[in-house]
Structure 1
Amino acid sequence: MAQKKKRHKKGGLTQPRNIATLLSVLFPGLGQFYNRRILKGFIFLILSVSFLVTTWDYIDIGLWGIVTLGTVPQEHHSVQLLLQGLISLIVLIFGIAIYIFNIKDARGDAIAREQGKSKPTLLQGIADFYSRGFPYYMILPGLVMLVFIVVLPLLFMLALAFTDYNQYNSPPRNLLSWVGFDNFKSLVTIDIWKDTFFSVFTWTIVWTVIATSLQIVLGLFLALLVNDKRIKFKRSIRTVLILPWAIPAFVSILIFSALFNPTFGAINRDLLSHLNIMIPWLSDPFWAKTALIMIQTWLGFPFVFALFTGVLQSVPQDMYEAADVDGGTRWQKFQHITMPHLLFATAPLLIMQYAQNFNNFNIIYLFNEGNPAVRGQNAGGTDILISWVYKLTFETNNYNMAAAITIIMGLVISIFAFFQFRKTAAFKEEERY
């Protein structure tokens, strides 16, 4: 017995763990048969054979299609082959995951044999699965749905950014080709794309920063004002200030679009006309952008106001009383007591406001569809990146450029959100636990 244990410790090929691992590598289920786990071996064997029989042809064609995107025009559809190839990769990853799990399972059972542990009975195996594997089994349907509903469209979009899929080259009449980073290069080298991209990207940043900052500042100012002890009828005032949030945003935007109409809108006709002023709100890019910023400030401040109002109620009053004893001014109490509490509790949500306005498609499209037109550009004067992507996709069919711009948008938001979240006090406090 001592010699047997010594031989096992040497780690040769005759060691059960290595034999079981090798057999599982050769074909799933063989390692389990070697470990005398017959039922488990049959399960892995049936799963593996079923997977190969049902998916082999599909995966074979899919992998060929994603590499070539077709070889015969009007017979092969490049988009369908690309989609089938992506699905094949996902299915193949699931198959590889089962294959790796089979190897680890066989090796783990073999190690248990080396340590002299008895083989578990069927009931013990079911109990072990329930205690350890049941949660994973229950989340598996949700994971599969997530992969095919969220991950697959994202992968498809990423793939299109590296093809030549546009209105002049579309299947099945033409075959698509992989073009590498040419679409991204076109955004910064070809004049019409370069001018449009930098103009729209700059306006998107300006729009995000100014519109979001104004709604935050206005919401903070009103929250501090209503929270003041000298203010009466607080509940009524809060109700009135939150009313714009209760109205659906698209309804408010359409109403504002009519109000800002330079011909029959109430702002020009009933207000500014008394001052002999007529502002081209919809035909001049500068005034259209100004109107959009004002509308977004109106639409966004109620949420920030409600957020800050709730946090202000939780600030300990004894801190203000201690500051009064020390002779602190209103500004000092605001700077050292109020703002730290507000930012600690709301910083992540405020960051999300910036990210939301960066992709705020509704207000841009519903107000004036990104117009007015700008000479030498294929985007409107008020288009932000997301509305430009919409036009490229549904109006001009430049799917490859739309996908490339979408990737850039995702990178900008991800990088911005990551670094901002890492610097917020709330995020750092959470990391301690």
Structure 2
Amino acid sequence: MANDQKERKTGLSRPRNIATLLSVMVPGLGQIYNRRFLKGIILLLVAISFLVTTWDYLDIGIWGLFTLGTIPHEHHSIQLLLQGLISLIVLFFGIAIYIYNIRDARKDAIAREEGRINPTLLKGMLDFYNGGFPYFMIIPGLIMLVFIVVLPLLFMLSLAFTDYNQYNAPPRNLLSWVGIDNFVDLLKMDIWKDTFFSVFTWTIVWTVVATTLQIVLGFFLALLVNDKRVKFKRTIRTVLILPWAVPAFVSILIFSALFNPTFGAINRDILSQFEIMIPWLSDPFWAKVALITIQTWLGFPFVFALFTGVLQSVPADMYEAADVDGGSRWQKLRHITLPHVLYATAPLLIMQYAGNFNNFNIIYLFNEGNPAVRGQNAGGTDILISWVYKLTFETNNYNMAAAITIIMGIIVMGFAFFQFRKTAAFKEEGRY
């Protein structure tokens, strides 16, 4: 028993434990104990400055984050929510410095136990330059990224769990945390449920059909132009890429005029010859057909240019070997061309699907997601992102818009991650 107590006492009195304990109690004391006086004083000053300058802000911020205010008209829930999120970010940086202080003190104490001499100031500066200087230089960019990207994302995530809508908005009313009630309403309340599933299914159809058509068309045209029997390849490629050169919003507005059922050239000059008049903008089905057609036109030039470059890199001896073995055109396309093209372009093609899933421009510029549908608070051609826009800027249903945005983000991230994991390019990325 006496030996155990002696060993325990000896263990507690080891420099590494003393330095760790001192750093836990007061940042910088562990470094001073290890005779790293300059570093210890700097860490101590940083800790004192952090507490003095941020204590009141953090105190109000954390309180506001949990309560969202207690006095209507005086407390603004949105301001308190933002201050609370900023407080969490600032607190995270403070905790990171605090943990660094503890680990650094323990590391220096271990070196002291092993008899290693503390580096001089010059040696410490050189070590910092060689090992930590790159990290030090990216800190400003990291801080900017946190406040420009991470903070808005956290704010959006937070709104999805509040009751912030047009009938309950600060400072007239205080917000409350409602948990997952918004997601439950989205799946159970009739008007939200019907609209959500209608818009969600159309978003999936839009993404799959429009993107697949532009990929198939781009691949088909690239195969034709890459054929040895085709002449004037440069001219043909230039003409086929022209739709890509015109700004997309200009093309969409032009198509919106062309598809206009009253004065549009498609009905008036083309279909009228066959005594056909299609309600492109007033009928949801035909509006969706028009949107898919326009997106195919806008998207195929990029895919065409992408596939054209990849096809030129396929080794000719592979086709020659297939000819010797008696391979048909279909077999060469299936076993040589297609695998080679998909291997090189799969990540970019996946991004085409993800991009069209959130393709707000074409939906809004063509007909603003219309026509209206009875019993729904979204238009007949609205996809999730355009519906979120309307909920945010037209009906002020911020909580439901945030909830839908979270669902969209999960879908896109899950789909992209799953597809990337299945591509050979992703699997071999870490091998080199």
Other-structure match for 1:304: 303
**2: distance between equivalents of 1:9 and 1:127?**
38
**1: distance between equivalents of 2:386 and 2:96?**
39
**1: distance between equivalents of 2:297 and 2:118?**
69
**2: distance between equivalents of 1:291 and 1:8?**
82
**1: distance between equivalents of 2:200 and 2:119?**
63
**3-state SS, counterpart of residue 12 of structure 1:** helix
- Matched to 2:284, the amino acid is P
Deviation at 1:163, TM superposition (A): 0.1
1:220 and 2:219 are equivalent in the alignment: yes
Other-structure match for 1:111: 110
- Matched to 1:323, the amino acid is A
Other-structure match for 1:130: 129
Deviation at 1:425, TM superposition (A): 1.1
- Matched to 2:398, the amino acid is Y
Percent of paired sites with the same residue: 83
1:86 and 2:78 are equivalent in the alignment: no
- Matched to 1:278, the amino acid is M
**2: distance between equivalents of 1:291 and 1:425?**
35
**1: distance between equivalents of 2:203 and 2:334?**
31
- Matched to 1:320, the amino acid is Y
1:383-422 counterparts in 2 under 5 A? Answer: 383-422=382-421
Deviation at 1:118, TM superposition (A): 1.0
**1: distance between equivalents of 2:138 and 2:7?**
39
**1: distance between equivalents of 2:291 and 2:46?**
57
CA contact (8 A) 1:219 1:301 kept: yes
Other-structure match for 1:236: 235
- Matched to 2:52, the amino acid is V
**1: distance between equivalents of 2:10 and 2:214?**
68
What's the TM-score, normalizing by structure 1?
A: 0.98
Other-structure match for 1:339: 338
Other-structure match for 1:325: 324
**3-state SS, counterpart of residue 391 of structure 1:** helix
Other-structure match for 1:54: 53
1:257 and 2:251 are equivalent in the alignment: no
Other-structure match for 2:292: 293
Deviation at 1:432, TM superposition (A): 2.6
Deviation at 1:10, TM superposition (A): 9.0
Other-structure match for 1:266: 265
| Larger mean Cα displacement after TM superposition, 397-406 or 111-120 | 111-120
**2: distance between equivalents of 1:393 and 1:196?**
16
- Matched to 2:299, the amino acid is G
- Matched to 1:412, the amino acid is I
**2: distance between equivalents of 1:36 and 1:205?**
64
**2: distance between equivalents of 1:190 and 1:268?**
40
**2: distance between equivalents of 1:404 and 1:8?**
57
1:211 and 2:226 are equivalent in the alignment: no
**1: distance between equivalents of 2:180 and 2:10?**
49
Other-structure match for 2:120: 121
**1: distance between equivalents of 2:26 and 2:367?**
62
Show structure 1 runs of 4+ deviating over 4 A. Answer: 7-11
| Larger mean Cα displacement after TM superposition, 128-137 or 152-161 | 128-137
**2: distance between equivalents of 1:279 and 1:141?**
56
**3-state SS, counterpart of residue 364 of structure 1:** helix
Gapped runs of 5+ residues in structure 1?
1-6
**1: distance between equivalents of 2:424 and 2:227?**
26
What's the TM-score, normalizing by structure 2?
A: 0.98
CA contact (8 A) 1:161 1:403 kept: yes
- Matched to 2:370, the amino acid is N
**3-state SS, counterpart of residue 376 of structure 2:** coil
Deviation at 1:431, TM superposition (A): 3.1
Other-structure match for 1:15: 14
CA contact (8 A) 1:62 1:81 kept: yes
1:357 and 2:352 are equivalent in the alignment: no
CA contact (8 A) 1:8 1:15 kept: no
Other-structure match for 1:313: 312
Deviation at 1:271, TM superposition (A): 0.4
**3-state SS, counterpart of residue 207 of structure 1:** helix
| Larger mean Cα displacement after TM superposition, 365-374 or 114-123 | 114-123
Deviation at 1:147, TM superposition (A): 0.3
Other-structure match for 2:274: 275
**2: distance between equivalents of 1:175 and 1:9?**
55
- Matched to 1:351, the amino acid is I
1:161-199 deviation line (CA, Å, top 9, x unaligned): 000000000000000000000000001111100000000
Deviation at 1:364, TM superposition (A): 0.1
CA contact (8 A) 1:214 1:297 kept: yes
**2: distance between equivalents of 1:353 and 1:270?**
34
Could you say what the CA RMSD is over the residues aligned between the two structures, in angstroms? 1.1
**1: distance between equivalents of 2:141 and 2:405?**
26
Deviation at 1:9, TM superposition (A): 11
Other-structure match for 1:44: 43
**2: distance between equivalents of 1:125 and 1:370?**
62
Residues matched between the structures, number: 427
Other-structure match for 2:96: 97
Other-structure match for 2:3: none
**1: distance between equivalents of 2:299 and 2:215?**
8
| Larger mean Cα displacement after TM superposition, 420-429 or 370-379 | 420-429
**3-state SS, counterpart of residue 11 of structure 2:** coil
Does the C-alpha gap of structure 1 residues 9 and 124 become closer, same or farther in structure 2, counting only changes over 3 Å? farther
**2: distance between equivalents of 1:8 and 1:274?**
101
**2: distance between equivalents of 1:141 and 1:370?**
41
